[in-house]
Structure 1
Amino acid sequence: MDYAIPDLDTLSRQLTSLDRTKKAKMLVVDDEPDNLDLLYRTFRRDFQVLKAESGVRALELLASEGEVAVIISDQRMPEMKGTEFLSRTVPQFPDTMRIILTGFTDVEDLVEAINSGQVYKYITKPWDPNELKAVVQRAAETYELLKQRTEELRRSQAQTALLTTIVRAAQDATHLEASLEPIATAFGKSFQADGSILQLVEGNSLVASQGKFSLNGALDNWLEKDPLVAAAIESQKMQVAVNIPGDATLAALDHYTASGVQAHLLVPVSYREEVLAVLSLQWHQPCTLREDELVLLHLSAQQVALALTCVRYYRPVA
């Protein structure tokens, strides 16, 4: 089977084809069962809805389920007011949009909650279903925008760290092998891979020298058994398997079964048509890299090739 990827556009289409549109999570909190069921029925088609009958139970749900996009909470509940409950969610989930339902004129509580950023909007009871749906939709869109900006900032910081590491490897490494692990680690962290290996190549064959990064525990190196590696070296093109369990040929290979790797990206590191190394990025779930990340991988691999060439020329051996 030919795994050669002819260009970044084709690769991008393959990688993003596995993106699944998942329902956003929302949490509804009300001590009145009828209201709780009504809120659930209103939003279950568009959201993954979690229900809680009290602020205490809602906090337990968030602790087990993690962040949600939107919380709708009643204000008047026994044990804990809605505004008190929502305030407790702010430190751990700052991006979550919070909506309060109130049938009373608790002006001071609401004003304080809104001014402190704890509440996105308040809705009076009895609410208009269409109005509530519109408010929740805007809240969910605001949440997604916040998450996108946060992720863009994280990626920008990771890219800066990656390029800085590559430059430092060329400047500071005492020998060629010493430059491999920091570069592999920087790539693994930048692309949120479960594992990353940068292994040297000589005469179109892998050699023992390598640097590894693992998110959890030890990382076995089975690259010499993998057909993607041979294809990357021969073609000098990026190779990808975005969904290994769905690929009968790769899924049958023992090293993929044993490692739990479900997506594998191989990047040849080449200088003047000579492959100096291969970079392996491994994930334990289907890969969903974007086109700008693929471009970064391609450009970063060129920087790594220059770094390895400099280190090999000036400080070739340990």
Structure 2
Amino acid sequence: MNNLIPEIDSTRKQSMTVEKPKKLKLLVVDDEPDNLDLLYRTFRRDFNVLKADSGVNALQVLANEGEVAVIISDQRMPEMKGTEFLSKTVPQFPDTVRIILTGFTDIEDLVEAINAGQVYKYITKPWDPTELKAVVQRAAETYDLLKQRTEELRRVNAQMALLKSLVTVTQMSSSFEDTLNPIAEAFGESFAADGCVLQILDNSAFTSSQGTYSSNGALGNWLTNDPLVSEAIATNKIQVSANIPSDEKLATVSHYSESDIKAHLTVPIIYRSQTLAILSLQWKQPFTLREDELKLIHSSVELTAIALTATQCS
């Protein structure tokens, strides 16, 4: 089965380049203003540093800011010990790496916190700046690794769910039209798209048959007038704009702003050199495609082409 997998248009590969990573968030918590300022100055160049002068205020910072990569907390603080504060962050932010600063011999509290997985490392006060920097750097690397593994697991689960959905649709649908909406929904949910359209073609012309998926009512159903769709049909290659407002070719296309679509991916679904359909994935925020996501699209498009052909012939 040749030509099942469309290539990516090289002219738009730049749209998928990963943006420069933002600084990781680091929360420092200490009731002594001098220590708090010193910690902020030590790490502000390498991290987006957030400050709090108590465990209670630190919890409020996390409520406002969301997950941080690393927390450095003093142990002895009024109202709430550092270990108590850190334990409260574990359920909502399990991947955050936690470091305790202590000038006391609170061995029992520290051992319990470390054994419970609430503390990654403890540093005695006064601390050595070089040692602390090294510990925080390793903590940040640990956080990155945890997030990477979590994301890999999520992607594997998404791939399995998508392929399972496509197989189920092929086996269970009683007619060609019945397959279209479930396929669009499977792709939309797997790639966290705000909208998805599976548009059936006949000799490169649009037909009345299409499947749609919409998250929160977000769907741009303007494919007949879309430049990316036209290019995908003409070239038989994936067309993508990861940040439409910054894309000179698309920034002035009115239907994107009217639909509040910030990113668009169009995939020709091809079987034996014939373009059967166009898959349109739409997002309300800019995005980037990873290599594994492209592979998932390719394998899923293969199965979709087979599914559409099989149901059309049945």
TM-score bucket of the superposed structures, by smaller chain? over 0.9
Give the match for residue 235 of structure 2. Answer: 235
Deviation at 1:286, TM superposition (A): 2.4
Equivalent runs, 1:71-90 vs 2, <5 Å? 71-90=71-90
CA distance in 1, matches of 2:57, 2:73: 12
TM-score under structure 2 normalisation?
Answer: 0.94
Equivalent runs, 1:151-166 vs 2, <5 Å? 151-166=151-166
CA distance in 2, matches of 1:86, 1:283: 36
Count of aligned pairs:
309
CA contact (8 A) 2:262 2:285 kept: yes
Give the match for residue 46 of structure 1. Answer: 46
CA contact (8 A) 2:102 2:122 kept: yes
Give the match for residue 3 of structure 2. Answer: none
Give the match for residue 168 of structure 1. Answer: 168
CA distance in 1, matches of 2:212, 2:59: 39
CA contact (8 A) 1:8 1:291 kept: no
Give the match for residue 302 of structure 1. Answer: 302
CA distance in 1, matches of 2:89, 2:146: 17
Moved more, 305-314 or 240-249: 240-249
CA distance in 1, matches of 2:191, 2:242: 14
TM-score under structure 1 normalisation?
Answer: 0.93
Deviation at 1:218, TM superposition (A): 4.2
Task: Write out the 4+ residue segments of structure 1 that deviate beyond 6 Å after TM superposition.
Answer: none
Give the match for residue 36 of structure 2. Answer: 36
CA distance in 1, matches of 2:8, 2:236: 14
Secondary structure of the residue that 2:35 maps to in structure 1? helix
Equivalent runs, 1:60-71 vs 2, <5 Å? 60-71=60-71
Secondary structure of the residue that 2:250 maps to in structure 1? helix
Secondary structure of the residue that 1:238 maps to in structure 2? strand
Q: Among the aligned pairs, what percent are the same residue?
A: 66
CA contact (8 A) 2:72 2:100 kept: yes
CA contact (8 A) 1:9 1:291 kept: no
CA distance in 1, matches of 2:127, 2:63: 29
Equivalent runs, 1:201-220 vs 2, <5 Å? 201-220=201-220
TM-aligned CA distance change 1:91 to 1:11, over 3 Å: farther
Note the residue ranges of structure 2 that are not aligned, 5 or more in a row: 1-5
Q: Is 2:274 the partner of 1:274?
A: yes
CA distance in 1, matches of 2:99, 2:11: 41
Deviation at 1:271, TM superposition (A): 1.2
Partner AA of 2:271 in structure 1: Y
CA distance in 2, matches of 1:64, 1:16: 31
Q: Is 2:135 the partner of 1:135?
A: yes
| Root-mean-square deviation (Å) | 1.6
Deviation at 1:9, TM superposition (A): 9.0
Partner AA of 1:109 in structure 2: D
Partner AA of 1:54 in structure 2: S
| 1:275-300 CA-partner distances (Å, limit 9, x unpaired) | 11110111222221112211221221
